[in-house]
Each structure stands twice: as structure tokens, then as C-alpha cells.
Chains A and B, each alone.
Chain A
Amino acid sequence: MTVTVSMTLNGKKVSADVEERTLLVSLLRDHLRQTGTHVGCDTSQCGACVVHVNDRSVKSCTMLASQVDGADVLTIEGLAKNGELHPMQEAFRDNHGLQCGFCTPGMVMSALDLVANNPDPSEREVREWLEGNLCRCTGYHNIVKSILAGAKAMRKGG
């Protein structure tokens, strides 16, 4: 059976007919061709699929598409405005916070949720917040540095 899911994705109204069992990440990637959100595991551990649903970070591999009907969804594709990177994206770039880039969208989306609730996190708080995001390339060193720098830039900006 198919269901119709309508939502606001990165500020635009979108709608798709999907099988009931479709996951949010599959709706984004396979149906809407927004492939910036990645799948790195099948147990909700790696965090490569983190997006925001109604301003909260969620693992999009762990939600059914039908659960976001009527919701406001933000993905990595929705952050940069007119080609200008969001300060958190810019901080990752400045601090070499990514290597292969596969975990990066999830890291950035996760970091933004942290900073939304804790604008001035300590290094320890950042490291603990990233419990649900795996990276194999960076040793997290520069990701942590990037998030601290991004948070700082966002405080200045706000």
C-alpha cells in the first residue's frame, strides 16, 4: 500500500507517494533525490543520516516517511544560502573537519542541534554529544574543533 507524504523540505513544499514501509532516509534519497543525507549502517548507530525534523535532529533511517507528513524537514542541502556556506559548514571547511565527507552531513546537522540548545558547548560536551555520529577518517579531532569554531561563529552572528 502506498501513502502520500507531504512536507516542507528545505523551505519548499514537496509531496511523494511511497510504500508504507518506506523510511524517511529512503524518501529523501530515493524518491526526492536529495542524496546529501547518507546511510552508513542498519542499526541507527552511525549518524550519517541525521536530518532535522521540526528543528530537532533525528536519524532519518529510524523514522518512517509517513511520520514526517506535515513536518518541516531540513537536510544538509538546505543549509547554504545563495552559495554561501552556513557558519557551521564554513567552520568544518576551515578546520579540516572532514576527509572523505561521508559522515559530514550527519555531523553538521547533529552539531547544529547541539548548538541550538547549547550555544557555547565545552569540548567535552561536543565529544559526548557526538556519541551517535561515527567517523572513521578524522579521529574526531578536527570535527570537535570545527564544531567549537562553528558555535563561536554562530554566537557572533546571532
Chain B
Amino acid sequence: MSATGIGAAVRRKEDYRFLTGNGRYLDDISLPNQSYAYFVRSPHAHATFTVGIEKAENAPGVIAVFTGADIVKAGLGGLICGWVITGKNGEPHKAPPHPLLAVDTVRHVGDPLAVVIAESYAQAKDAAETVEVDYQPKAAVTSPTAALDNSAPQVHADAPGNLCYDWEIGDKSATDAMFNKAHHVTKLELINNRLIPNAIEPRSAIGDYNSGTDEITLYTTSQNPHVARLVISAFVQLTPEHKLRVVAPDIGGGFGSKIFIYSEETVAAWAARELKRPVKWTAERSESFMTDAHGRDHVTHAELALDKSGKFLGMKVSTVANLGAYLSTFATCVPTYLYATLMQGQYTTEAIYCEVKAVFTHTTPVDALRGAGRPEATYVVERLVEQAAREMKMDASDLRKINFIPADAFPYQTQVALQYDSGNYAGSMDQALKLIDYKGFSKRKEQSKAEGKLRGVGFSAYIEACGIAPSAVVGSLGAGVGLYESAEIRFNPTGNVTVFTGSHSHGQGHETTFAQLVSDKLGVPFDNIDVVHGDTARIPFAMGTYGSRSLAVGGSAISKAIDKVIAKGRKIAAHTLEAAEEDIEFKDGNFTVKGTDRTMDIGAVAFAAYVPHNYPSDELEPGLDESAFYDPANFTFPAGTHACEVEVDPDTGVVDIVKWVAADDFGNIVNPMIVEGQVHGGVAHGIGQALLEGCQYAPDSGQLLTGSFMDYGMPRADVFPDIEVATQVTPCPHNPLGVKGCGEAGAIAAPAALVNAITDAIGASNITMPATPEKVWRALNAAG
């Protein structure tokens, strides 16, 4: 292994600019003659309204005020949801309109209804205060289960009963049969708490119109600029794709929330053309809380049937998922194909049935957030399994082990549509047991007891489906797009390399990992490779970053392009070295005639390709610039076991996380330093969900009660223990790199592990996340 090749913990290329204040985040960009947008938002969860803009139009510095009516007049379409779910009744999901600006009804606090554009941000904000909105407030519903009541206020006229879809997967009668012969059934009522994403960089956009070329450039905080371009062109119909350039520069974290196409950037792009001036909008944090698509928000009843020995016979899951007031870009697939398809977990459960009702409420739209469906699934499976162990009086790790899919059983067809490709679940469990010193737990528990503390241990043997996904498969399941990825490797005549990738990096370190890949495979020095992403005018059409897919899908596209470079290089070398092509070997950046010392390095090959004086011009084009698209053969299935120990203070209910171990299997690893960092961040997100975070709406008024960092429990540094990370490698058998993906594992594994540990410590069967000191104290006193 070279110091910068695959497997090396290379320091990141991007860090110098970030550490010196030279990152170029969206709000850092200012264009000449730029104007500023401020959105007028509903303070009500549900209201009809009329709007008067005369005063605002005449306020100092105001350039224009636009309302929903102006958008309608301009002929722009609304925002769309790109995945059609077919319900039990055979019908597609209900897709009510999602206007860019509300026209006569607002449906959640923060719903935008007008935009004020002025010479300065302060002027736009001041003028927005003078927009006269006459609201007629109406009853609102925020809870997903309450939304299904017959008497619940209706969010959309064309979604009766607030139902978006009622969907199922699995064999119901086979599952019922398993429950009929069960020795024991464990049942749990589980709430997966609603989370607010809170990337530290707020969303932001600048629309810029060039009247000479009729081209709009949209700078936007996007994880997938081409998807944004496609939606804004093809569905909103702002302008044809070739007249819209979308640039996503350095992005300050996404976690899913910057996948989606939102009103604000779309309006900024349109307004820039209307006004023939750049229009900039940057969210204030309060707007982020109200409008970045939220995550999770499930209410679930789940049951696990076991035989006498503890083998899992069947699982039944019934979930109500809150989708919020409008369908965000991928909202519908999260509680279905990213959730219920993971109910097999790591186990040989013989029959599984899951049904999901997805509902509209008067809340912010809900969509994918780090893990997206898979944390919810893992929470269901791993809470059930742990609780079953307690009820059956079996050791929680032993119960898992007797039910694990054996390492020699792959590929493994699950009961819920997926085919697992590879894994060694018992291996990860053993690793976790060792790291956490499970054997010594009872002694530590005694010690804690002597100090007046309650100690508990919890596991989460999680699995995720990453590397989304084979286009034909997702297409058959309702996806409106293919989910391949693109890459281009462009040698420059002097031998250095620019790599163009569709995988956007917003913290993941692609500029480093992808350069390592190319350096390793092509023998070009790491420092001579730059990675370009995030600009539709520079990179090939691409699907972007989400679902831990960048290395598995984007990296595989790069790998394909590398193979093409080598294939062409071999022809060039054969010609130059006057040898047969099949006699040319490529190794460590050198093309060599087998068995001789006649050799040519790849830099010389690139030069020959661009200065083709002695070149096989009759059979080859000049240049060394290869591109590739990669459509995965299957999902990848990272898996592992996280284990944690907590100490609970029975007097206060405060939970102290004493130890956290992560034993993960991500397949092959390119940069272990970056992988560990991804695990840390994911675990922190999961611990946040389990211990601190939870979006709250006032049930009657629909007001967002957790609308700032003062009200919403963001995890801070003092919450976390040292996180110990270990990996085992079971390579992915179907992608060229053998990699699986690591960005979401922690967020998927952590909540179940932590709640399992807390309930173990306090002797309760359940506790609702976030496990605040109050809830823990109450549970403890109820249990005691």
C-alpha cells in the first residue's frame, strides 16, 4: 500500500481551504448588482388568506414583491415528488399540488406565500413586515395518528382522510401462520421521533440570469445539482435544461436535507430572470427549522414471534408515517422501500409483513434524513429483538447469534424484496462483544450499583441497503429516475489529472478518497489529481450524493473510467513501444512490454495522446479523456453491531453514555481515517435522536415549539463518550471496488443500541425517544 493509495489514512485535500477560511460556501458568493430575497411565511399551521403587497412594493429599497398568483401567472409548475408508491388498492399515492408560493391556503408554519426582493437584505426583511396578509386560521393536525381520525382537519381536498397511501409488503398469511404456531410473541409500540436536520450551513441560493445567452445559473446548496436542474427544468418548467446551469459549491453539511428541490431556490432562479438581476436568498436558522425537510416521525406497532428455542418465526409491523404538509422530492419512498425492506434485519426470520399508512399533516414536509427509513427499521427490529431476549430470559447477544443469517448463506433472499449480497454478522457481533468487554459487564454493573448508579448495556445489530441503486429495480418500484452515477477522468497534456464526478461532497471527503482511488489505480501522484464536482456545466449528468452511495456507485463509475484510460493507454503504449497490445502490461503507472525493460509511464502516454506526432491515428482518437456511467447490479449491504453502556442516575434520570463501540463491515476501505469520521458523525446523529432531539409541534395550534437551537436539543461535545470504531471486511461482491458505504451506519445503528441500554439499566420495557432525564426518571419510578 502506498502512502496515498487505497487503504491509506491520507490527510484531506480539502482541509487547507476550509481551515484557512478559504472555503467557498454559498453565502460567501456575491455577484455584482445582486439583490436580496426575503420570504413571507405563514405564522399559522393552517389558514386561508388574501395578501396585499402595495405597501411593501413602495418600501425603501424594494425592487419587487411576488406572490403565489405571480407564479401561477408566469406558468410555472409546482414542486414534485419523484417516486410513485402503489398502494394496497393498486392506485398510485395521492400527490396534491405543492405550489412554489402558496396561493390561497397555507399548510404549515413557515409555508412561503410571497417574496420581497430588495437592494439589501435588511430592506427586504423590513419590507416583508409590511406585506398585508389577512389570514383566516383553520384547525390543524400535526400528529400522524390523529390525522387519520375521521374528524381530523383535512390538509388537502384531494387526499381524503389525509391519506397519501396505504401500502404493504411481505406475505401476510404466511406471517399470520407463523404467529399462530409461536411459542412467544413480543409486542412493542414504538415512536420514531421527528428530527430536524440542522446542517450547520443554512440553505442558500443565488439566481443569476444572462440575457445574452438566455441562460440561468442557479447557485444552490444541493447534494445533487443535476437532479435540481432536471426538476426545475422538466417539472417546474422554468427553462430548458440546456439553459439552466446549477452550481453547488462547498456545502456545509447536508444529511439528506439538501437533496430536495425547494421553493426558495426555484423562486430565486425565476425572479433573477424576471428582474434581470442576481437574486440571493440565505435562510436564517429559524427558516431552516421551519422549512428544511424533517426526518423520521413514525408511529409503529410491531410484533415478533419466536419458537421455544428463540428462533424468529415471524414479524408483523404496522406503521403510520408523517409526510408533512406537502410531498418533498423523495418523501414517499422513505417509509416504504427504504424502511420496510429492511425488516429482515440480520436474521433468518421466516415470514415478515409490514404495512405503512403515510399521512399528510399541517407540518413541515418530511423526507430522507441521514439513514432515511433504515434507522426507523433498525429501531423496530432491534428494539423487538432486545425486548424478546428479556421476555424469553435469554442473553441478548446469544438470541441474536442463533438467528443471524450465517456467513455462508449469501446471497440471501429476504422476505421483503431485497437480496443481501454478503456479510458476516456473527463476526461483527463477536468484535463488539470483545471491544465492550461484555464478559466484564456484570462486574461493572455491580460497581455502578455500589455508587448508586444503574448500568445497562445495549446492542444494535443493524443492516442497511446502500449504494442506491439498480435503475431497473428502483424503476419497477416507482422511482421516476435512474440511480446510476457518472465519472470522467481527464488527463491533461502534462500528465496531471482532473476527475469529474457526479457525487457531490459536502463533508465526506471525496476530493481525497477519489484522488486516492485514481492515484492507486493509475499511478499518478496524489497531488497531481484534482476532483471536480457540483457544477452541471462541468460534470457529466449525474444523480448526486445520498444513501451512502458515493464510493459504491460514484467510485465504481470512476473505476470504470480508469479501466477505459488503461485500455486506451495500452494501445498508445503498444504503438509507441512497437509491441503487440496484448504484450503490454500496466502496473504502478507504467506500461511495459512483457519480459522487457521497454516501458512508458502514463504521463508520457498522456503526452503522446495530446501531441500525437507518433500515434496510431488510424485506429485511435487523440486525447486521454474517458468517461463512464455505472449502474449498480444490486444495493450494497453494510452491517455490523454497535454496543453501548450507560450509567443512569436514578435520582435525576440523567443518562451518561460510558462507552460506545462500533463494529462495522463496510467492505473494502479506501481511507480509514475518513471512514472513522463518518462513523463518529453518524453515531452522534443517532445518539442525538435517542437522547436529545425531537421536533415538537403544539398539537392544537400546530406551532413549531422547537424552532431554534435554544429549544431543539442539538447534541453538543459534552454529551459524547469516546467512540471506539472497529471494522471487518467482507467485500461487496458486485461492484468493482468491493465497497459498501459508511455514511449512515452510525445514525442507523445508534438509537436502538442506546435505548436498549437505557431500558436495560432502568428495567423498563420501553421508553420514548428522546430519553430525556424527565422521561427516564418517570419510567424508573413507574417501573420501580
Q: Do A and B truly interact?
A: yes
Give A contacts to B, CB under 8 Å.
Answer: 19, 21, 29-30, 33-43, 45-46, 48, 75-77, 79-80, 85, 89, 92-94, 96, 98-105, 108, 124, 126-128, 130-131, 133-144
Let me know if B674 and A96 touch, CB within 8 A.
yes
A20 CB, min distance to chain B CBs, angstroms: 11
Let me know if B19 and A98 touch, CB within 8 A.
yes
Contact partner, B708, options A34, A35, A45, Cβ 8 Å = A45
Instruction: From known contacts A19-B122, A43-B285, A46-B285, infer whether A140 and B717 are also in contact, taking CB-CB under 8 Å.
Output: yes
Q: Digitize B199-224: 1 where CB-to-A-CB distance is under 8 Å, 0 elsewhere.
A: 11110000000000000000000000
Let me know if B681 and A43 touch, CB within 8 A.
no
B685 contacts which chain A residues (CB < 8 A)? 136, 139
Let me know if A105 and B198 touch, CB within 8 A.
no
Given contacts A102-B23, A105-B21, A128-B718, 20 further A-B contacts (CB under 8 A): A35-B25, A38-B201, A40-B202, A76-B20, A85-B20, A93-B15, A94-B11, A99-B681, A100-B200, A100-B250, A100-B253, A100-B507, A101-B15, A102-B25, A124-B718, A130-B718, A135-B200, A140-B720, A141-B722, A144-B717
Let me know if B20 and A89 touch, CB within 8 A.
yes
Bound-state Cα–Cα, A41 to B21, Å:
18
Bound-state Cα–Cα, A143 to B720, Å:
12
Q: Does B680 contact A (CB under 8 A)?
A: yes
Let me know if B507 and A99 touch, CB within 8 A.
yes
A45 CB, min distance to chain B CBs, angstroms: 4
B720 contacts which chain A residues (CB < 8 A)? 127, 139-141
Give B contacts to A, CB under 8 Å.
Answer: 11-12, 14-25, 27-28, 30, 122, 198-202, 250-253, 255, 284-286, 506-509, 673-674, 676-677, 680-685, 687, 708-710, 714-718, 720, 722-723, 746
Contact partner, A36, options B15, B21, B683, B709, Cβ 8 Å = B21
Bound-state Cα–Cα, A99 to B27, Å:
18
Let me know if B507 and A42 touch, CB within 8 A.
no
Bound-state Cα–Cα, A89 to B200, Å:
20
Let me know if B122 and A134 touch, CB within 8 A.
no
Let me know if A89 and B709 touch, CB within 8 A.
no
Bound-state Cα–Cα, A39 to B26, Å:
11
Let me know if A139 and B286 touch, CB within 8 A.
no
B509 contacts which chain A residues (CB < 8 A)? 99
A153 CB, min distance to chain B CBs, angstroms: 14
B677 contacts which chain A residues (CB < 8 A)? 96, 99, 137-138, 141-142
Let me know if B28 and A35 touch, CB within 8 A.
yes
B251 contacts which chain A residues (CB < 8 A)? 100
Instruction: From known contacts A127-B717, A144-B717, infer whether A101 and B23 are also in contact, taking CB-CB under 8 Å.
Output: yes
Bound-state Cα–Cα, A108 to B200, Å:
16
A104 contacts which chain B residues (CB < 8 A)? 18-19
Let me know if B723 and A139 touch, CB within 8 A.
yes
Let me know if B681 and A137 touch, CB within 8 A.
yes
**8 pairs of A and B residues whose beta carbons are closest in the complex:** A36-B21, A102-B252, A101-B18, A139-B684, A100-B507, A45-B709, A99-B507, A35-B28
Looking across the interface, which residue of chain A has its beta carbon closest to that of B254?
Answer: A100
Let me know if A134 and B716 touch, CB within 8 A.
yes
Let me know if B21 and A35 touch, CB within 8 A.
yes
Interface of A is mostly: loop
A108 contacts which chain B residues (CB < 8 A)? 19
B680 contacts which chain A residues (CB < 8 A)? 138-139, 141-142
Interface centre among B17, B285, B682, B687 (most CB of A within 10 A): B285
Looking across the interface, which residue of chain B has its beta carbon closest to that of A89?
Answer: B19
B37 CB, min distance to chain A CBs, angstroms: 16
Contact partner, A42, options B286, B684, B722, Cβ 8 Å = B286
Contact partner, A141, options B12, B23, B723, Cβ 8 Å = B723
Contact partner, B252, options A77, A89, A92, A101, Cβ 8 Å = A101
Bound-state Cα–Cα, A101 to B20, Å:
10
A138 contacts which chain B residues (CB < 8 A)? 677, 680-681, 684
Let me know if B674 and A77 touch, CB within 8 A.
no
Let me know if B200 and A46 touch, CB within 8 A.
yes
A36 contacts which chain B residues (CB < 8 A)? 20-23
Instruction: From known contacts A42-B286, A141-B720, infer whether A136 and B21 are also in contact, taking CB-CB under 8 Å.
Output: no
Instruction: From known contacts A103-B200, A134-B714, infer whether A41 and B15 are also in contact, taking CB-CB under 8 Å.
Output: no
Bound-state Cα–Cα, A39 to B682, Å:
23
B16 contacts which chain A residues (CB < 8 A)? 85, 93
B17 contacts which chain A residues (CB < 8 A)? 101
A103 contacts which chain B residues (CB < 8 A)? 200, 252
Instruction: From known contacts A40-B202, A102-B200, infer whether A131 and B718 are also in contact, taking CB-CB under 8 Å.
Output: yes
A79 contacts which chain B residues (CB < 8 A)? 20
A124 contacts which chain B residues (CB < 8 A)? 718
B717 contacts which chain A residues (CB < 8 A)? 126-128, 130-131, 133, 135, 140, 143-144
Looking across the interface, which residue of chain B has its beta carbon closest to that of A101?
Answer: B18
Let me know if B507 and A134 touch, CB within 8 A.
no
Bound-state Cα–Cα, A37 to B533, Å:
24
Instruction: From known contacts A40-B202, A139-B681, A142-B677, infer whether A127 and B718 are also in contact, taking CB-CB under 8 Å.
Output: yes
Can you offer 5 A-B residue contacts whose CB atoms are under 8 A?
A96-B676, A100-B252, A108-B19, A139-B681, A140-B684
Bound-state Cα–Cα, A137 to B677, Å:
8
A96 contacts which chain B residues (CB < 8 A)? 11-12, 673-674, 676-677
Let me know if A43 and B684 touch, CB within 8 A.
no
Looking across the interface, which residue of chain A has its beta carbon closest to that of B17?
Answer: A101
Contact partner, B20, options A77, A99, A142, A143, Cβ 8 Å = A77
B274 CB, min distance to chain A CBs, angstroms: 24
Let me know if A136 and B253 touch, CB within 8 A.
yes
Instruction: From known contacts A46-B200, A46-B709, A100-B507, infer whether A137 and B253 are also in contact, taking CB-CB under 8 Å.
Output: yes
Bound-state Cα–Cα, A85 to B21, Å:
12
Bound-state Cα–Cα, A67 to B507, Å:
35
A76 CB, min distance to chain B CBs, angstroms: 4
A48 contacts which chain B residues (CB < 8 A)? 200
A99 contacts which chain B residues (CB < 8 A)? 253, 507-509, 677, 681
B690 CB, min distance to chain A CBs, angstroms: 13
Contact partner, B198, options A42, A136, A141, Cβ 8 Å = A136
Bound-state Cα–Cα, A136 to B716, Å:
9
Let me know if A93 and B718 touch, CB within 8 A.
no
Bound-state Cα–Cα, A123 to B28, Å:
33
A133 contacts which chain B residues (CB < 8 A)? 717
Looking across the interface, which residue of chain B has its beta carbon closest to that of A100?
Answer: B507
Bound-state Cα–Cα, A33 to B32, Å:
13
Let me know if B201 and A98 touch, CB within 8 A.
no
Looking across the interface, which residue of chain A has its beta carbon closest to that of B14?
Answer: A101
Bound-state Cα–Cα, A75 to B24, Å:
16
Instruction: From known contacts A99-B507, A101-B23, A134-B716, infer whether A42 and B285 are also in contact, taking CB-CB under 8 Å.
Output: yes
Bound-state Cα–Cα, A142 to B677, Å:
7
A144 contacts which chain B residues (CB < 8 A)? 717
A136 contacts which chain B residues (CB < 8 A)? 198-200, 253, 255, 681, 685, 714
A105 contacts which chain B residues (CB < 8 A)? 21
Looking across the interface, which residue of chain B has its beta carbon closest to that of A76?
Answer: B21
Bound-state Cα–Cα, A126 to B24, Å:
28
B18 CB, min distance to chain A CBs, angstroms: 3
B21 contacts which chain A residues (CB < 8 A)? 34-37, 75-77, 105
B18 contacts which chain A residues (CB < 8 A)? 98, 101, 104
Instruction: From known contacts A102-B252, A128-B718, A140-B684, infer whether A93 and B19 are also in contact, taking CB-CB under 8 Å.
Output: yes
B198 contacts which chain A residues (CB < 8 A)? 134, 136
Let me know if B709 and A134 touch, CB within 8 A.
yes
A100 contacts which chain B residues (CB < 8 A)? 199-201, 250-253, 506-507
Bound-state Cα–Cα, A92 to B26, Å:
23
Looking across the interface, which residue of chain A has its beta carbon closest to that of B677?
Answer: A96
Instruction: From known contacts A42-B284, A85-B19, infer whether A137 and B709 are also in contact, taking CB-CB under 8 Å.
Output: no
Let me know if A42 and B708 touch, CB within 8 A.
yes
A33 contacts which chain B residues (CB < 8 A)? 30
Looking across the interface, which residue of chain A has its beta carbon closest to that of B506?
Answer: A100
